Structure formats: structure tokens, C-alpha cells
Amino acid sequence: MGPMVLGDLLDEAEPALRGVARSAARREVVELAARVLGAEPDGLDPARPLDGRAVRRLRELVRRRADGVPLGHLTGRVVFAGLELAVGPGVFVPRVHSELVLAAGRKAVEGIAGPTVVDLCAGSGAIGLALAHARPDARVHAVEFDPVAVDFTRRNAARRAALGDAEVTVHEGEAARAGALTGLAAGADLVLANPPFMPDAAEVPDEFGRYQPRQAVFGGADGLRVVRQVVEAAAGLLRPGGVLVVEHGHLHGATVPGLLRESGRFADVSCRPDHDGWPLYSSAVRTAS
């Protein structure tokens, strides 16, 4: 028998990833193979022979991914809204769902020249950096409290700025202190946030329950501890007419719009679904009072 070729290993590994990656299993194996081979995923030749070391390494990465380790923690990168970002253990790997939050935010500032935007709970910086990429005239602030995540945000912001995107100002601290950190009081046109929103006792896949940072996923007994901080902070940051877009997942399709209405400082509250029809995020407009 000749040496194993890449295509054989891709065929072998794909079924193992169906549990965690479902229809993306093949693409994920290709990304892991690209990591092992130091190549770009798009350029891989299935006929490429693999030496024993590459086979062992790829099988090990596939085993860890099947166990629930996020793909980005194994490859060190993720593509969010077309931007390649560095991620790794200790930082939340952005989800494709959050591109809908970004899209809603972009729409909210479409007609505004030089908008001021704050990304609360920034993680790797994905949402704020993607906004800065789409809107070179924007002034974007990113607020994140976890030092490991802040390192990733800073690294990603520096790389995007070197590639020509607008500078994003990164602030290390609690979302609740965003006004003091950014110096913005009733001065932001848009606040975007993807805070932790799962109740502490919720059963979630290992990818989220074991491998993503706990403070990125769980938000207290009802899941809303940080969401409440975000609503409060956004009320202080936004100018009248400014918009908050906050991701909250399927459990909070009624509660978060309720929080926004009860705060008495937001109007035009609406909850929007993800691509499968589940509640994903809410948006609201800061009132003048």
C-alpha cells in the first residue's frame, strides 16, 4: 500500500465531526488539515501524500474537535464577516449568527456620517472590527473585561489597522463602566453587544459548556446579569435616536424586549430571529427622556 493521501484522511475524519459540526463537517476537517500542513484550506490537493506525522497530528485534532473543542481554538483563526481574526483557548470564538447583529448595526448607521459605535463584551473584537472594516469613517470603541480576550481584541485591532481599517479603541473593563471608559455620555450613535446570556444551570453542548470561557457563555441564574448591564450602559452611552442591538439567543425573545421597554429609555423595541427562525437579538432606539 502507498502512502495515505489527504483525500483518504478527509473521508475518514468527516463522519467523526458530524456530531459537532453537522453540515460543516467536511469544511472543518479541511481547515484542520490546512492547519497541520501549513497551507490555505482552499488550495489543498486531495491527492497530496501525507507522512505519518501529519496523519497522527490530523487525527489528534479531529479527535479533539469531535470532543467539542471549538474549531478556532484548534486552528487559531476564525473568519467573521469576511475578516480573518486570531482566536484561541480563553477567548470566545465568534459565531456566524452574530453577523446578523453586525448587519442590523450597519443598517442603523447607514445614513450617519462618521458614526460613533461601541462594541460591548467584545471578545476577540469580531463585531466592532467588522463594523470598522465596513465603515472606515466610524469611530469604534470595544469594551471587554477579560484580560485574555482583551489581548486578542488588541492583537486583532492592530492587525486590521495595519491592513488599512479604521482604528478601534480597546478598553479593558466592565460593560457597566463603558461610559467612564469611553468618555461617551449620550454620544454614541450605535451600541452593539453580544454578552453572555445562558442561565448558569442551562445544559449546553460541550463546545460552550466546557471549552468556551465560562464568563463568555453564562450570565447568572436567569442568564441576564450582563444583558441588564448592557441595557443600562447603552442607555447612558447612546444619544437620543441612537440604536442598541443586543444578541440574547432563543431563551430571551420575550424577556429582553421586556427589559428594554421597562427601562423607559428605549422605543421601537423589536426582537429578530436567526436564520432558523429562533429569537437571536433585539434592537431598540434611545428615546430623548
Ligand X SMILES: C[S@@+](CC[C@H](N)C(=O)[O-])C[C@H]1O[C@@H](n2cnc3c(N)ncnc32)[C@H](O)[C@@H]1O
Residues that bind ligand X (CB under 6 A): 92, 94, 98, 121-124, 126-127, 143-146, 149, 174-175, 194-196, 213, 215-216, 226, 229
Query: Least distance from C-beta 79 to ligand X, angstroms?
Result: 12
Q: Which helix (H) or strand (E) segment is 143 a member of?
A: strand 139-144
- Report which residue type is found at 64: R
Beta bridge partners of 192: 119, 245
Instruction: Please say which residue, 28 or 146, places its beta carbon nearer to ligand X.
Output: 146
Q: Is 138 helix (H, G, I), strand (E, B) or coil?
A: coil
* CB closer to ligand X, 58 vs 198: 198
Residue closer to ligand X, measured from CB, 149 or 259: 149
How near is the Cβ of 176 to ligand X at its closest, in Å?
6
How is the beta sheet containing 116-120 ordered, strand by strand? Answer: 168-172, 139-144, 116-120, 188-193, 238-247, 279-286, 266-273
How far apart are CB 211 and ligand X at their closest, in Å? 13
The CB-nearest residue to ligand X is: 123
Longest CA–CA span in the chain (Å) reads: 76
Contact (CB, 8 A) for 274 and 280: yes
Q: Got the DSSP string for 38-91?
A: TS-GGG--TT-B--HHHHHHHHHHHHHHHTT--HHHHHSEEEETTEEEE--TTS
Of residues 36 and 235, the one with the C-beta less far from ligand X: 235
- Minimum CB–partner distance for residue 215 and ligand X (Å): 5
CB of 99 to ligand X, least distance (A): 10
Closer to ligand X by Cβ: residue 58 or 129: 129
Tell me, what DSSP letter sits at residue 163? T
